[in-house]
Structure 1
Amino acid sequence: MVDKLLGSSPGIVNFGIFFGLAVLLLFVILGFVTMAILAERKVLGFMQGRYGPNYVGGKWGLLQSVADVLKLLVKEDLIPKAADRPLFIIAPVIAFAPSFTVMATIPLTDRLQFADLNIGILYYVAISGLTIIGMLMAGWASNNKYSLLGGMRAAAQMISYEIPLVMSVLGVILLSGSLNLNQIVETQSNHGWFILWQPIAFIVFFIAATAELNRVPFDLAEAENELVAGFHTEYSGFRWAMFMLAEYVYMFAMAALITLIFLGGWLPLPFLEFIPGAVWFSLKFSLVVFILIWFRATFPRIRADQLMEFAWKVLLPIALANIFLTALIKEFLNVF
């Protein structure tokens, strides 16, 4: 019966293949999140003169993140009595689903990619923007003033910094002539990494990406000394874990994007071509993640008004000027 069904409906086979690949991608992401949380706690501990996790899983605390996840899974799932129950339940899903979806278009090597789209960058920007809805929905549905303020801050911040983020990458698109991430990496193989051709765009993109991730010093949406925990104040257990999972998945995606767009992706350094591309991608990717963790240990949180002014009065003009400068370079030098 199964063979007959599969034989007459090849769509079911395709669905099974794609479902299996999606599960594989999910396990890869969960593995990264588990190790990223552990790495962040160990790096922060080292920079602050502490040990960090050193008990569960040996002296390195290798199983501490696993223990934390298990603890969250068995915690009671509380829903405030005055909350908007349907919106409260669905908000974490809306916040997490786009973060998982965008990962399918990010190539990890020249041969390892789940979906090769010609509009890869545009797809990422469009889909990742849906997470804003989940955060704002969580703040509104909680019926808590701190949650609502956190949701409004998150929406304002992510929309504001989305603009310089996109504007900064337009210079790379002008030079490469493509929105396809594989094509952008291929262009760098012929002309050098874009961090050399677009240093201003790289700085703007990195700062805007940090703000998009709601990480220090731009974690105003979750400022514990002002808003308790921001838009997810009323969440607990598995639903709270989904918000944290979305944050770290986006860190994975954004670090991968920076690696692909500005650091040459899997391209090797000169005279080191014998090292596999996957190793190069991992090294560059890990460096970006380390810098994001380093920022958390180093910078203080800025004020909300400074956050918004910095996006509109500093990053946006610089990004626009970089587009103009890039257009001049492409027109008169004809290097690309």
Structure 2
Amino acid sequence: MDTLLAANSLAEYLHTNGVPFCGCKLDESTAMIVAAIVHVALVGAWFGLPAGLFIWAERKVSGRIQDRLGPTRTGGKFGWLQSLADGIKLLQKEDLVPKEADGLMFRLAPYIVVVASFVGYIALPFSDGWAAMIIDVGLFLTLGVLSLEVLGVILAGYSSGSKWALFGAIREAAQMVSYEIPMAICALCPIVTAGTLNLNEVALLQSGGVWNWNILHPFNFFAFFVYFTCATASCKRAPFDLAEAESELVAGFLTEYSGFRWSLFFLAEYASMFLVSGLATVLFLGGWDDGLGILAGIKKSSPDGLVNFLANALGLLIFLVKGSLLVCVQIWVRWTLPRLRIDQVMTTCLKYLIPMSCFLFAGTVAYPLVLVKMSGQTSIIGGAVGERLVKPRSVPGTSSVAPATPHVPVAAAADGRSGQ
């Protein structure tokens, strides 16, 4: 058993070895159901953690930037329990539905936004194999369900019966449809480099040291910054928070919401912030790799299941640190840059980011071909960084391409036939 929490491995463990500390073995179908419940609980727990942790972090960071202290009363000197207190307060608030609103759609919209953000975590690997689902189209699944969040925003604005909410929803629709294009194109750049859509394999191909990370690829380096800019816009974060522009639209599509349903939108926003940051970590920053080759060396030197499990747990911690740092950058940007106008936001995307992303994607595709031409190779191959740009790539622990058949000159073959 390589990883106890890996997809399918937990069900196999329960079926083969039984429940820990109990020893009773489960049949295959029951083991799959129990494993699915455990994975949903783990994903759900982490889905809710960013809301409390990053809201507290944003208050502290914004306080420091504005020469304030931030929360200092609730939960000790540093206000650790401020987010919990806010959550309890929101649950106690009255949940109003405007008279002019469409009641069904108004109530449904927050849950669509939350589900879209939640489902995106299913294919995101937190460590080697530690994902609820490991599928070959993990990137498309994550980007696809993340784009469904805009449907909830449009529904919220349309059903509120308020012109301010409707204007905010229309802005969000235009912004999301535009910025998803360069975001997806730049996310495909490391996919082309790795040669697979499986996010777990993309991260494994970057293991062994920082020199293997996709961000060191000359085109992926710039694709990372374009992706991160578009991801910030997709999360409706300043300076791209046009859908909630308080100075223009009261509160945008959130104008008529209050209490618990209002909090669901922000729960989804902070969860999406970590989701896009975690996706950037997997695609560009080596995933759970420590950058020094230590983690890969430990797993390679000791095939023991417990050692491998502890190494994956350390990789989980590294992944969370990388993703959290990217979230902190989004918070920093929000409290540093002023909000852009709607025309500036759309011009930036349509005139600059989309052409840049197309150029970077074309460069990523052509770069290994240029190296092949320069090195005198005769076959078309994919590559990543350093020596792997001119060698076939394979996931660590698996065999590479089959050995090539020796080339026999035509003249020598003819001589052999004539001798017979």
TM-score, reference length from structure 2 = 0.75
2:126 to 108, 123, 142: 108
Please state if 1:238 is matched with 2:238.
Answer: no
CA distance in 1, matches of 2:174, 2:30: 42
Q: Look up the match of 1:139.
A: 157
The answer on 1:166 being equivalent to 2:184 is yes
Aligned to 2:271: 249
Higher RCO structure (Cα 8 Å, ≥6 apart): 1
Letter paired with 2:366: L
Residues 51-100 of structure 1: CA deviation (Å, up to 9, x unaligned): 10000001100000000000111110000011011110101111110100
Query: Counterpart in 2 of 1:196?
Result: 216
Equivalent of residue 69 in structure 2, options 23, 28, 51 = 51
Q: Take 1:94 and 1:283, find their aligned partners in 2: how far apart are those partners?
A: 29
1:223 corresponds to which of 245, 264, 269? 245
Q: In structure 1, what is the equivalent of residue 398 of structure 2?
A: none
Instruction: Spell out, residue by residue over 1:6-61, the C-alpha distance to the aligned partner (whole angstroms, 9 max, x if none).
Output: x9x96566344423421232122212221111011111111111010000001100
Moved more, 272-281 or 250-259: 272-281
Asked if residue 288 in structure 1 is aligned to residue 326 in structure 2, the reply is yes
**Which has the higher mean CA deviation after the structures are superposed, 215-224 or 109-118?**
109-118
Aligned residue runs from structure 1 range 63-212, under 5 A: 63-189=81-207, 192-197=212-217, 198-212=220-234
In structure 1, the residue matched to 2:352 is 314
Letter in 1 for 2:216: L
Q: Distance in 1 between matches of 2:145 and 2:320?
A: 25
Letter matched to residue 196 of structure 1: L
Alpha-carbon distance, 1:130 to partner: 1.1
Q: SS of the residue aligned with 1:42?
A: helix
CA contact 2:191–2:283 (8 Å) conserved in 1: no
Which structure has the larger Rg over C-alpha atoms?
2
Identity of aligned residues (%): 41
Give the superposition deviation at 1:128.
Answer: 1.1
Q: Per-residue deviation at 1:285?
A: 1.5
1:264 is displaced (CA, Å) by: 0.3
Number of equivalences: 330
Deviations along 1:129-150, one digit per CA (max 9) or x if unpaired, are: 1111110000000010000000
With structure 1 as the length reference, what TM-score do the two structures score?
0.94
Residue of structure 2 in register with 1:259 after alignment = 281
Residues of 2 paired with 1:165 and 1:204: CA distance? 7
The residue identity in structure 2 corresponding to 1:163 is I
Structure 2 counterpart SS, 1:189: coil
RMSD after superposition: 1.9
**Take 2:131 and 2:95, find their aligned partners in 1: how far apart are those partners?**
36
Equivalent position of 1:330 in the other structure: 368
- 1:304 matched to 2:326? The reply is no
1:111-133, Cα deviation, whole Å (9 max, x unpaired)? 42111111111001111111111
Instruction: Give the superposition deviation at 1:104.
Output: 1.1
Tell me which residue corresponds to 1:4. none
Alpha-carbon separation, structure 1, partners of 2:294 and 2:63: 34
Matched to 1:192, the amino acid is N
- Tell me the amino acid that sits aligned with residue 279 of structure 1: L
Deviations, residues 146-166 of structure 1 (Å, cap 9, x unaligned): 000000111111111000001
Q: Which runs of 5+ in 2 are unaligned?
A: 1-24, 299-310, 373-388, 392-420
Normalized per residue, the structure richer in helix is 1
- Equivalent residue of 1:22, what SS? helix
Q: Quote the Cα distance in structure 1 between the aligned partners of 2:160 and 2:316.
A: 43
* Matched residue type, 1:262: F
Partners of 1:256 and 1:96 in 2: how far apart?
17
Supply the distance in 1 between the matched residues of 2:133 and 2:340 (Cα, whole angstroms).
Answer: 38
Shift of 1:105: 0.8
CA distance in 1, matches of 2:239, 2:189: 26
What SS does structure 2 have at the residue aligned with 1:188?
A: coil
Measured in 2, the distance between the counterparts of 1:150 and 1:202 equals 28
- How far apart are the structure 2 equivalents of 1:143 and 1:175? 48
